[in-house]
């Protein structure tokens, strides 16, 4: 088993050193570009909601509420029918 210490010799050729330097430069440049993109995104204005878009969303929500109300009403009617049937069965 080899031990790493003061007497250990590490030999690197020029190609390996170039790859290490290139990797460090590309990593640092990616970091700074990412930081710049984040700073730019923080200053951009939020998209405005147009009145047409708001009307469409409002209409969709209202239709969903009406549909849900109709479904609940149907469930209430079914529940009443089931309660009446159970009451008739329990009387017998």
Domains of the chain by residue range: 14-91
Looking from the CA of 67 toward its CB, the CA atoms found within 13 Å total: 6
- Rounded to whole angstroms, the Cα distance separating 40 from 49 reads 22
Global pTM value? 0.42
Mention every residue, 6+ apart, whose C-beta is less than 8 A from residue 39. none
Q: Which pLDDT tens digits describe the chain residue by residue (92 residues)?
A: 777 888 888 888 899 999 999 999 999 999 999 999 999 988 888 778 788 999 999 999 999 999 999 999 999 999 999 999 998 888 87
Number of H helices, E strands in the chain: 2, 0
């Amino acid at each position: 088993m080899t031990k790493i210490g003061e007497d250990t010799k590490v030999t690197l050729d020029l190609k390996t050193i170039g790859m290490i330097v290139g990797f460090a430069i590309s990593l640092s440049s990616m970091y700074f570009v990412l930081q710049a993109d984040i700073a730019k995104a923080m200053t951009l204005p939020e998209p405005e909601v147009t009145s047409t878009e708001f009307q469409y969303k409002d209409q969709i929500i209202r239709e969903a509420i009406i549909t849900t109300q109709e479904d609940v009403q149907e469930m209430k009617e079914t529940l009443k029918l089931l309660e009446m049937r159970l009451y008739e069965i329990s009387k017998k």
